[in-house]
Structure 1
Amino acid sequence: MPSNEQRRQAAKRKLERQLARRVERAKRRRNWGVGITVIVVIAAVGLVYWLVNLGPGDSEASTGPDESTTANTTKGACAYTENPQEKPPKDPGLPDDPQETPKDGVTKVTLKTNQGDIPLTLDRSAAPCTVQSMMHLVEKKYFDGTTCHRLTASEGLKVLQCGDPLGTGAGGPGYSIPDELQAAQELPQGPAGGDGSPTVTYPRGAVAMANAGPSTGGSQFFLVYGNSTLPPNYTLFGTVGDAGLATLDKIAAGGITAGQNGPEDGAPVNPVQITSAVEQ
Protein backbone atom coordinates (compact mmCIF):
# COMPACT_ATOMS: atom_id res chain seq x y z
CA MET A 1 0.00 0.00 0.00
CA PRO A 2 1.52 3.42 -1.00
CA SER A 3 2.52 5.69 1.78
CA ASN A 4 1.21 9.18 2.20
CA GLU A 5 4.46 10.57 0.79
CA GLN A 6 4.16 8.42 -2.29
CA ARG A 7 0.58 9.56 -2.83
CA ARG A 8 1.63 13.21 -2.51
CA GLN A 9 4.43 12.72 -5.04
CA ALA A 10 2.06 10.99 -7.50
CA ALA A 11 -0.50 13.79 -7.14
CA LYS A 12 2.23 16.38 -7.68
CA ARG A 13 3.40 14.69 -10.88
CA LYS A 14 -0.20 14.47 -12.16
CA LEU A 15 -0.74 18.17 -11.49
CA GLU A 16 2.50 19.03 -13.26
CA ARG A 17 1.41 17.01 -16.32
CA GLN A 18 -1.98 18.77 -16.35
CA LEU A 19 -0.33 22.19 -16.13
CA ALA A 20 2.08 21.28 -18.95
CA ARG A 21 -0.81 20.16 -21.17
CA ARG A 22 -2.68 23.40 -20.46
CA VAL A 23 0.38 25.47 -21.36
CA GLU A 24 0.80 23.49 -24.61
CA ARG A 25 -2.87 23.95 -25.54
CA ALA A 26 -2.66 27.69 -24.82
CA LYS A 27 0.46 27.93 -26.97
CA ARG A 28 -1.27 26.15 -29.87
CA ARG A 29 -4.26 28.47 -29.58
CA ARG A 30 -1.96 31.51 -29.72
CA ASN A 31 -0.21 30.14 -32.80
CA TRP A 32 -3.54 29.50 -34.52
CA GLY A 33 -4.71 33.00 -33.63
CA VAL A 34 -1.57 34.60 -35.07
CA GLY A 35 -1.82 32.48 -38.20
CA ILE A 36 -5.46 33.40 -38.80
CA THR A 37 -4.69 37.08 -38.19
CA VAL A 38 -1.87 36.99 -40.74
CA ILE A 39 -4.14 35.32 -43.31
CA VAL A 40 -6.87 37.91 -42.74
CA VAL A 41 -4.38 40.80 -43.08
CA ILE A 42 -2.92 39.34 -46.30
CA ALA A 43 -6.42 38.85 -47.72
CA ALA A 44 -7.41 42.43 -46.82
CA VAL A 45 -4.27 43.86 -48.41
CA GLY A 46 -4.93 41.82 -51.53
CA LEU A 47 -8.51 43.07 -51.71
CA VAL A 48 -7.43 46.69 -51.33
CA TYR A 49 -4.80 46.23 -54.07
CA TRP A 50 -7.43 44.74 -56.39
CA LEU A 51 -9.88 47.57 -55.75
CA VAL A 52 -7.27 50.29 -56.24
CA ASN A 53 -5.51 48.85 -59.27
CA LEU A 54 -8.30 47.11 -61.13
CA GLY A 55 -11.68 48.14 -59.81
CA PRO A 56 -15.09 47.01 -61.02
CA GLY A 57 -15.21 46.47 -64.74
CA ASP A 58 -11.48 46.91 -65.33
CA SER A 59 -9.24 44.20 -66.72
CA GLU A 60 -5.74 43.19 -65.82
CA ALA A 61 -4.59 44.78 -69.07
CA SER A 62 -5.53 48.22 -67.71
CA THR A 63 -2.03 49.29 -66.78
CA GLY A 64 -2.02 52.82 -68.23
CA PRO A 65 -2.90 56.05 -66.42
CA ASP A 66 -6.54 56.90 -65.67
CA GLU A 67 -7.59 59.19 -68.52
CA SER A 68 -9.98 61.07 -66.23
CA THR A 69 -7.00 62.49 -64.31
CA THR A 70 -4.80 63.42 -67.26
CA ALA A 71 -5.28 66.31 -69.66
CA ASN A 72 -3.37 67.40 -72.74
CA THR A 73 -2.69 71.10 -73.26
CA THR A 74 -1.80 72.62 -76.60
CA LYS A 75 1.65 74.17 -76.81
CA GLY A 76 0.75 77.46 -78.49
CA ALA A 77 -0.18 80.86 -77.10
CA CYS A 78 -3.74 79.84 -76.13
CA ALA A 79 -2.99 76.62 -74.20
CA TYR A 80 -6.33 74.93 -74.85
CA THR A 81 -6.76 72.23 -72.22
CA GLU A 82 -8.37 68.87 -72.89
CA ASN A 83 -11.27 67.93 -70.63
CA PRO A 84 -11.44 64.09 -70.70
CA GLN A 85 -14.64 64.05 -68.64
CA GLU A 86 -16.59 65.69 -71.46
CA LYS A 87 -17.74 63.25 -74.10
CA PRO A 88 -19.36 65.36 -76.85
CA PRO A 89 -21.50 63.50 -79.40
CA LYS A 90 -19.28 65.02 -82.09
CA ASP A 91 -15.66 65.22 -80.93
CA PRO A 92 -14.03 68.19 -82.67
CA GLY A 93 -10.57 67.57 -81.24
CA LEU A 94 -8.32 70.34 -79.97
CA PRO A 95 -7.98 73.53 -82.06
CA ASP A 96 -4.76 74.42 -83.80
CA ASP A 97 -2.74 76.64 -81.50
CA PRO A 98 0.10 78.54 -83.19
CA GLN A 99 2.68 80.45 -81.21
CA GLU A 100 1.25 83.68 -82.66
CA THR A 101 -2.55 83.75 -82.46
CA PRO A 102 -4.19 85.96 -85.14
CA LYS A 103 -5.30 89.14 -83.35
CA ASP A 104 -6.45 91.41 -86.16
CA GLY A 105 -9.70 91.76 -88.03
CA VAL A 106 -13.14 90.24 -87.71
CA THR A 107 -14.76 87.04 -88.92
CA LYS A 108 -18.38 86.76 -90.06
CA VAL A 109 -20.41 83.71 -89.04
CA THR A 110 -24.12 83.08 -89.52
CA LEU A 111 -26.10 80.80 -87.25
CA LYS A 112 -28.85 79.39 -89.43
CA THR A 113 -31.72 78.41 -87.14
CA ASN A 114 -35.26 77.16 -87.54
CA GLN A 115 -36.38 80.55 -86.17
CA GLY A 116 -34.34 82.63 -88.62
CA ASP A 117 -30.73 83.57 -89.32
CA ILE A 118 -28.52 85.11 -86.62
CA PRO A 119 -25.48 86.81 -88.23
CA LEU A 120 -22.47 87.27 -85.90
CA THR A 121 -19.31 89.33 -86.17
CA LEU A 122 -16.44 87.78 -84.20
CA ASP A 123 -13.71 90.21 -83.10
CA ARG A 124 -10.22 88.68 -83.01
CA SER A 125 -8.71 91.75 -81.35
CA ALA A 126 -11.05 91.40 -78.36
CA ALA A 127 -10.57 87.66 -77.80
CA PRO A 128 -8.17 86.00 -80.24
CA CYS A 129 -8.07 82.57 -78.54
CA THR A 130 -11.85 82.46 -78.19
CA VAL A 131 -12.47 83.40 -81.83
CA GLN A 132 -9.84 80.89 -82.97
CA SER A 133 -11.65 78.15 -81.00
CA MET A 134 -15.09 79.18 -82.26
CA MET A 135 -13.91 79.07 -85.87
CA HIS A 136 -12.44 75.62 -85.25
CA LEU A 137 -15.85 74.44 -84.02
CA VAL A 138 -17.62 76.06 -87.01
CA GLU A 139 -15.22 74.33 -89.42
CA LYS A 140 -15.84 70.98 -87.69
CA LYS A 141 -19.63 71.55 -87.99
CA TYR A 142 -19.82 71.13 -84.25
CA PHE A 143 -22.77 73.50 -83.83
CA ASP A 144 -24.82 71.96 -86.63
CA GLY A 145 -27.92 70.27 -85.23
CA THR A 146 -27.54 71.69 -81.72
CA THR A 147 -30.17 73.59 -79.74
CA CYS A 148 -30.19 76.90 -77.91
CA HIS A 149 -31.28 75.47 -74.58
CA ARG A 150 -31.70 78.54 -72.36
CA LEU A 151 -33.63 81.81 -72.63
CA THR A 152 -33.76 84.43 -69.86
CA ALA A 153 -36.01 87.45 -69.52
CA SER A 154 -35.39 88.98 -66.10
CA GLU A 155 -34.87 92.67 -65.46
CA GLY A 156 -31.09 92.30 -65.42
CA LEU A 157 -30.49 89.34 -67.74
CA LYS A 158 -31.85 88.94 -71.27
CA VAL A 159 -29.90 86.32 -73.19
CA LEU A 160 -30.27 83.26 -75.40
CA GLN A 161 -27.67 80.61 -74.60
CA CYS A 162 -26.49 78.14 -77.24
CA GLY A 163 -23.59 75.85 -78.10
CA ASP A 164 -24.26 72.83 -75.85
CA PRO A 165 -24.29 69.62 -77.93
CA LEU A 166 -26.30 67.91 -75.18
CA GLY A 167 -28.92 70.66 -74.94
CA THR A 168 -28.80 70.54 -71.13
CA GLY A 169 -26.34 73.25 -70.17
CA ALA A 170 -23.77 70.66 -69.10
CA GLY A 171 -22.10 69.80 -72.42
CA GLY A 172 -18.89 70.99 -74.01
CA PRO A 173 -16.40 70.28 -76.81
CA GLY A 174 -13.99 68.20 -74.74
CA TYR A 175 -11.62 71.07 -74.00
CA SER A 176 -11.58 74.43 -72.24
CA ILE A 177 -10.28 77.81 -73.37
CA PRO A 178 -8.63 80.60 -71.37
CA ASP A 179 -10.64 83.61 -70.26
CA GLU A 180 -10.00 86.82 -72.22
CA LEU A 181 -11.69 89.44 -70.08
CA GLN A 182 -10.16 92.78 -70.99
CA ALA A 183 -13.00 93.80 -73.34
CA ALA A 184 -15.60 92.78 -70.74
CA GLN A 185 -13.83 94.75 -68.03
CA GLU A 186 -13.99 97.85 -70.23
CA LEU A 187 -17.81 97.71 -70.53
CA PRO A 188 -19.92 100.38 -68.73
CA GLN A 189 -20.00 99.79 -65.00
CA GLY A 190 -23.24 98.44 -63.55
CA PRO A 191 -24.64 98.48 -60.01
CA ALA A 192 -22.66 96.64 -57.35
CA GLY A 193 -23.64 93.02 -56.84
CA GLY A 194 -25.37 91.79 -53.71
CA ASP A 195 -21.99 91.04 -52.14
CA GLY A 196 -20.52 94.35 -53.27
CA SER A 197 -18.69 92.81 -56.24
CA PRO A 198 -18.42 94.88 -59.44
CA THR A 199 -20.71 94.36 -62.41
CA VAL A 200 -20.80 95.67 -65.96
CA THR A 201 -23.51 96.04 -68.58
CA TYR A 202 -23.26 93.61 -71.48
CA PRO A 203 -25.16 95.61 -74.14
CA ARG A 204 -27.86 94.44 -76.49
CA GLY A 205 -26.15 92.68 -79.37
CA ALA A 206 -23.16 91.39 -77.38
CA VAL A 207 -21.87 87.84 -77.84
CA ALA A 208 -20.00 86.30 -74.89
CA MET A 209 -18.79 82.93 -73.62
CA ALA A 210 -20.69 81.12 -70.91
CA ASN A 211 -18.63 79.41 -68.22
CA ALA A 212 -18.78 77.60 -64.90
CA GLY A 213 -15.84 79.45 -63.35
CA PRO A 214 -12.45 80.84 -64.36
CA SER A 215 -11.16 79.49 -67.70
CA THR A 216 -13.86 76.82 -68.02
CA GLY A 217 -15.41 78.12 -71.24
CA GLY A 218 -15.76 75.65 -74.08
CA SER A 219 -18.46 75.87 -76.71
CA GLN A 220 -21.41 77.47 -74.91
CA PHE A 221 -22.04 81.14 -75.64
CA PHE A 222 -24.83 83.63 -75.06
CA LEU A 223 -26.46 86.22 -77.29
CA VAL A 224 -27.62 89.37 -75.49
CA TYR A 225 -30.96 90.71 -76.78
CA GLY A 226 -31.41 93.24 -73.95
CA ASN A 227 -28.89 95.06 -71.75
CA SER A 228 -27.75 92.61 -69.07
CA THR A 229 -25.95 93.19 -65.76
CA LEU A 230 -23.26 90.63 -65.00
CA PRO A 231 -19.82 90.41 -63.40
CA PRO A 232 -17.11 91.06 -66.00
CA ASN A 233 -16.25 87.35 -65.94
CA TYR A 234 -17.53 86.38 -69.38
CA THR A 235 -15.32 86.74 -72.44
CA LEU A 236 -16.81 89.27 -74.85
CA PHE A 237 -15.90 88.22 -78.39
CA GLY A 238 -18.44 89.51 -80.88
CA THR A 239 -21.72 91.18 -81.80
CA VAL A 240 -25.08 90.19 -83.29
CA GLY A 241 -26.20 91.91 -86.50
CA ASP A 242 -29.56 93.64 -86.93
CA ALA A 243 -31.15 90.66 -88.67
CA GLY A 244 -29.98 88.46 -85.81
CA LEU A 245 -31.44 90.80 -83.20
CA ALA A 246 -34.78 90.63 -84.97
CA THR A 247 -34.63 86.84 -84.76
CA LEU A 248 -33.73 87.01 -81.07
CA ASP A 249 -36.61 89.39 -80.38
CA LYS A 250 -38.99 86.95 -82.07
CA ILE A 251 -37.65 84.05 -80.00
CA ALA A 252 -37.96 86.07 -76.76
CA ALA A 253 -41.50 87.11 -77.61
CA GLY A 254 -42.47 83.45 -77.89
CA GLY A 255 -41.95 83.02 -74.16
CA ILE A 256 -40.09 80.75 -71.76
CA THR A 257 -40.85 77.32 -70.38
CA ALA A 258 -40.17 77.86 -66.68
CA GLY A 259 -37.05 76.08 -65.46
CA GLN A 260 -35.44 75.42 -62.09
CA ASN A 261 -34.58 79.13 -61.76
CA GLY A 262 -38.17 80.29 -62.16
CA PRO A 263 -40.48 81.49 -64.93
CA GLU A 264 -37.95 83.93 -66.40
CA ASP A 265 -35.21 81.37 -67.00
CA GLY A 266 -35.72 78.17 -68.98
CA ALA A 267 -36.01 76.69 -72.44
CA PRO A 268 -37.62 78.79 -75.17
CA VAL A 269 -41.28 77.91 -75.71
CA ASN A 270 -40.50 77.83 -79.43
CA PRO A 271 -37.48 75.49 -79.67
CA VAL A 272 -34.41 76.98 -81.33
CA GLN A 273 -32.23 74.63 -83.35
CA ILE A 274 -29.03 75.66 -85.10
CA THR A 275 -29.27 73.80 -88.39
CA SER A 276 -25.81 75.02 -89.42
CA ALA A 277 -23.13 77.55 -88.53
CA VAL A 278 -21.30 78.89 -91.56
CA GLU A 279 -18.49 81.35 -92.16
CA GLN A 280 -19.43 84.18 -94.49
Structure 2
Amino acid sequence: MKTLSILISILLAMLNPQGKEKEKEVVVIETKFGNIVIELFEDVAPKHSENFKKLAREGFYNGTTFHRVIPGFVIQGGDPLSKDNDRSNDGRGGPGYTLPAEIKMPHKKGFVGAARQPDSVNPEKRSNGSQFYICLDDLPHLDNNYTVFGRVIEGMDVVEKIAQVPRDKRDNPIEKVEMKKVYVKKIKVK
Protein backbone atom coordinates (compact mmCIF):
# COMPACT_ATOMS: atom_id res chain seq x y z
CA MET A 1 0.00 0.00 0.00
CA LYS A 2 2.86 2.35 0.83
CA THR A 3 4.38 1.77 -2.64
CA LEU A 4 1.06 2.63 -4.30
CA SER A 5 0.83 5.89 -2.32
CA ILE A 6 4.34 6.85 -3.41
CA LEU A 7 3.53 6.08 -7.06
CA ILE A 8 0.34 8.17 -6.91
CA SER A 9 2.27 11.06 -5.34
CA ILE A 10 4.90 10.91 -8.08
CA LEU A 11 2.23 10.83 -10.81
CA LEU A 12 0.40 13.80 -9.29
CA ALA A 13 3.65 15.76 -9.04
CA MET A 14 4.34 15.06 -12.72
CA LEU A 15 0.86 16.25 -13.69
CA ASN A 16 1.12 19.46 -11.64
CA PRO A 17 4.79 20.52 -11.69
CA GLN A 18 4.55 23.69 -9.59
CA GLY A 19 7.67 25.79 -9.86
CA LYS A 20 9.16 23.57 -12.56
CA GLU A 21 10.89 25.27 -15.44
CA LYS A 22 9.68 24.79 -19.00
CA GLU A 23 11.51 25.47 -22.23
CA LYS A 24 10.36 28.23 -24.55
CA GLU A 25 11.69 29.25 -27.94
CA VAL A 26 12.87 32.81 -28.50
CA VAL A 27 14.53 34.48 -31.46
CA VAL A 28 17.98 36.03 -31.04
CA ILE A 29 19.26 38.78 -33.35
CA GLU A 30 23.04 39.32 -33.23
CA THR A 31 24.26 42.82 -34.20
CA LYS A 32 27.52 44.74 -33.78
CA PHE A 33 25.86 46.54 -30.84
CA GLY A 34 24.92 43.33 -29.04
CA ASN A 35 22.06 40.84 -29.05
CA ILE A 36 18.31 41.38 -29.11
CA VAL A 37 16.19 38.55 -27.70
CA ILE A 38 12.54 38.38 -28.80
CA GLU A 39 9.79 36.44 -27.08
CA LEU A 40 7.00 35.54 -29.48
CA PHE A 41 3.26 35.92 -28.81
CA GLU A 42 2.47 32.47 -30.18
CA ASP A 43 -0.97 32.38 -28.59
CA VAL A 44 -2.24 35.60 -30.23
CA ALA A 45 -0.21 35.66 -33.47
CA PRO A 46 0.57 32.01 -34.24
CA LYS A 47 1.10 32.39 -37.99
CA HIS A 48 3.50 35.34 -37.58
CA SER A 49 5.35 33.64 -34.72
CA GLU A 50 5.84 30.41 -36.67
CA ASN A 51 6.88 32.31 -39.80
CA PHE A 52 9.45 34.38 -37.86
CA LYS A 53 10.96 31.21 -36.37
CA LYS A 54 10.93 29.44 -39.74
CA LEU A 55 12.79 32.29 -41.45
CA ALA A 56 15.28 32.47 -38.58
CA ARG A 57 15.94 28.72 -38.78
CA GLU A 58 16.46 28.97 -42.55
CA GLY A 59 19.01 31.78 -42.14
CA PHE A 60 16.79 34.14 -44.14
CA TYR A 61 17.52 37.14 -41.90
CA ASN A 62 21.29 36.61 -41.71
CA GLY A 63 22.97 39.58 -43.38
CA THR A 64 19.81 41.68 -43.65
CA THR A 65 19.86 45.12 -42.06
CA PHE A 66 17.78 47.46 -39.98
CA HIS A 67 17.10 49.64 -43.03
CA ARG A 68 14.67 52.11 -41.44
CA VAL A 69 15.50 53.85 -38.18
CA ILE A 70 13.28 56.59 -36.75
CA PRO A 71 14.15 57.70 -33.18
CA GLY A 72 11.11 57.72 -30.90
CA PHE A 73 9.20 55.54 -33.38
CA VAL A 74 10.66 52.24 -34.72
CA ILE A 75 13.66 50.39 -36.08
CA GLN A 76 12.65 48.22 -39.04
CA GLY A 77 14.42 45.36 -40.80
CA GLY A 78 14.06 41.95 -42.37
CA ASP A 79 14.19 42.93 -46.05
CA PRO A 80 16.36 40.55 -48.11
CA LEU A 81 17.02 43.40 -50.58
CA SER A 82 18.99 45.17 -47.81
CA LYS A 83 21.81 42.60 -48.11
CA ASP A 84 23.31 44.33 -51.17
CA ASN A 85 24.80 47.81 -51.53
CA ASP A 86 21.81 49.27 -53.40
CA ARG A 87 19.99 51.21 -50.70
CA SER A 88 17.32 52.56 -53.08
CA ASN A 89 15.25 49.36 -52.88
CA ASP A 90 15.56 48.69 -49.14
CA GLY A 91 12.13 48.21 -47.62
CA ARG A 92 10.55 46.80 -50.76
CA GLY A 93 11.50 43.13 -50.49
CA GLY A 94 10.23 40.05 -48.75
CA PRO A 95 10.09 36.27 -49.08
CA GLY A 96 7.49 36.37 -51.87
CA TYR A 97 4.38 35.94 -49.72
CA THR A 98 2.26 37.83 -47.20
CA LEU A 99 0.60 36.70 -43.98
CA PRO A 100 -3.02 37.19 -42.92
CA ALA A 101 -3.54 39.87 -40.28
CA GLU A 102 -3.54 38.75 -36.62
CA ILE A 103 -4.27 42.15 -35.11
CA LYS A 104 -4.89 41.68 -31.39
CA MET A 105 -2.09 43.38 -29.43
CA PRO A 106 -1.22 47.02 -28.72
CA HIS A 107 2.02 48.71 -29.73
CA LYS A 108 4.04 49.09 -26.53
CA LYS A 109 7.71 50.01 -26.20
CA GLY A 110 9.79 46.97 -27.11
CA PHE A 111 6.96 45.19 -28.92
CA VAL A 112 7.65 43.65 -32.34
CA GLY A 113 5.25 44.10 -35.23
CA ALA A 114 4.97 43.05 -38.87
CA ALA A 115 5.44 45.69 -41.57
CA ARG A 116 2.91 45.85 -44.38
CA GLN A 117 1.75 47.78 -47.42
CA PRO A 118 -0.70 50.69 -46.83
CA ASP A 119 -4.48 50.19 -46.75
CA SER A 120 -4.88 51.74 -50.20
CA VAL A 121 -3.25 48.67 -51.77
CA ASN A 122 -3.76 46.25 -48.87
CA PRO A 123 -7.25 46.67 -47.34
CA GLU A 124 -6.97 43.26 -45.62
CA LYS A 125 -3.92 44.55 -43.69
CA ARG A 126 -1.86 41.49 -44.72
CA SER A 127 1.68 41.57 -43.35
CA ASN A 128 4.91 41.46 -45.31
CA GLY A 129 6.28 37.93 -44.97
CA SER A 130 9.61 38.97 -43.43
CA GLN A 131 9.86 42.67 -42.55
CA PHE A 132 9.33 43.61 -38.93
CA TYR A 133 9.80 46.57 -36.62
CA ILE A 134 10.55 47.12 -32.95
CA CYS A 135 8.68 49.94 -31.20
CA LEU A 136 10.88 52.53 -29.51
CA ASP A 137 7.94 53.91 -27.52
CA ASP A 138 4.26 53.18 -26.95
CA LEU A 139 2.62 53.80 -30.35
CA PRO A 140 -1.17 53.69 -29.85
CA HIS A 141 -1.83 55.24 -33.28
CA LEU A 142 -0.63 51.94 -34.81
CA ASP A 143 -3.01 49.82 -32.71
CA ASN A 144 -5.66 47.90 -34.66
CA ASN A 145 -3.72 48.38 -37.89
CA TYR A 146 -0.66 46.10 -37.70
CA THR A 147 0.04 42.64 -36.31
CA VAL A 148 2.17 42.64 -33.15
CA PHE A 149 3.75 39.22 -32.64
CA GLY A 150 6.47 39.55 -30.00
CA ARG A 151 8.43 41.65 -27.55
CA VAL A 152 12.05 42.31 -26.69
CA ILE A 153 12.90 40.55 -23.43
CA GLU A 154 16.66 41.27 -23.57
CA GLY A 155 18.65 43.86 -25.46
CA MET A 156 16.37 46.89 -25.44
CA ASP A 157 19.57 48.86 -24.82
CA VAL A 158 20.83 47.47 -28.15
CA VAL A 159 17.61 48.59 -29.86
CA GLU A 160 18.10 52.09 -28.36
CA LYS A 161 21.71 52.21 -29.66
CA ILE A 162 20.51 51.31 -33.16
CA ALA A 163 17.90 54.07 -32.91
CA GLN A 164 20.66 56.65 -32.42
CA VAL A 165 22.82 55.85 -35.45
CA PRO A 166 23.24 58.61 -38.08
CA ARG A 167 20.87 58.15 -41.00
CA ASP A 168 20.08 59.64 -44.39
CA LYS A 169 16.96 61.55 -45.45
CA ARG A 170 15.16 58.22 -46.06
CA ASP A 171 15.87 57.15 -42.43
CA ASN A 172 18.31 54.52 -43.69
CA PRO A 173 21.40 54.25 -41.42
CA ILE A 174 24.48 55.82 -43.09
CA GLU A 175 26.53 52.83 -41.93
CA LYS A 176 24.63 49.55 -42.29
CA VAL A 177 23.29 47.96 -39.11
CA GLU A 178 23.47 44.30 -40.06
CA MET A 179 21.69 41.38 -38.44
CA LYS A 180 24.79 39.20 -38.45
CA LYS A 181 22.94 36.08 -37.34
CA VAL A 182 19.31 35.45 -36.39
CA TYR A 183 18.40 32.15 -34.79
CA VAL A 184 15.93 30.32 -32.57
CA LYS A 185 17.08 29.43 -29.08
CA LYS A 186 15.40 27.57 -26.22
CA ILE A 187 15.35 29.24 -22.83
CA LYS A 188 14.01 28.08 -19.49
CA VAL A 189 10.95 29.87 -18.08
CA LYS A 190 8.75 29.27 -15.06
TM range (shorter): 0.7 to 0.9
Which consecutive aligned stretches of 4+ in structure 1 deviate over 4 angstroms post-superposition?
none
The question of whether the paired residues in 2 share the 8 Å contact of 1:177 and 1:218 is answered with yes
The two structures, once aligned, show a CA RMSD in angstroms of: 1.7
Q: 1:215: which partner in 2? A: 126
Q: 2:183: which partner in 1? A: 278
- The residue type paired with residue 177 of structure 1 is L
- The residue type paired with residue 218 of structure 1 is G
Q: 2:14: which partner in 1? A: none
Deviation at 1:106, TM superposition (A): 5.2
What TM-score does the superposition give when structure 2 sets the normalisation length?
0.73
Give the number of the structure with larger relative contact order, counting CA–CA contacts within 8 Å between residues 6 or more apart: 2
- SS of residue in 1 equivalent to 2:75: strand
Q: 1:233: which partner in 2? A: 145
Give the Cα separation in 1 of the matches to 2:147 and 2:127: 11
Give the Cα separation in 2 of the matches to 1:174 and 1:253: 31
- SS of residue in 1 equivalent to 2:160: helix
Give the Cα separation in 2 of the matches to 1:278 and 1:216: 21
Quick check: which one's strand share is greater?
A: 2
What TM-score does the superposition give when structure 1 sets the normalisation length?
0.50
1:151 aligned to 2:56? no
CA deviations over 1:150-194 (Å, ceiling 9, x no partner): 01125xxx10001000021000001111110122xxx3xxxxxxx
Give the Cα separation in 2 of the matches to 1:117 and 1:269: 21
Percent identity at matched positions? 32
Q: 2:13: which partner in 1? A: none
Give the Cα separation in 2 of the matches to 1:216 and 1:236: 10
The question of whether the paired residues in 1 share the 8 Å contact of 2:127 and 2:147 is answered with no
CA deviations over 1:11-59 (Å, ceiling 9, x no partner): xxxxxxxxxxxxxxxxxxxxxxxxxxxxxxxxxxxxxxxxxxxxxxxxx
Deviation at 1:233, TM superposition (A): 1.3
Q: Which has the larger radius of gyration?
A: 1
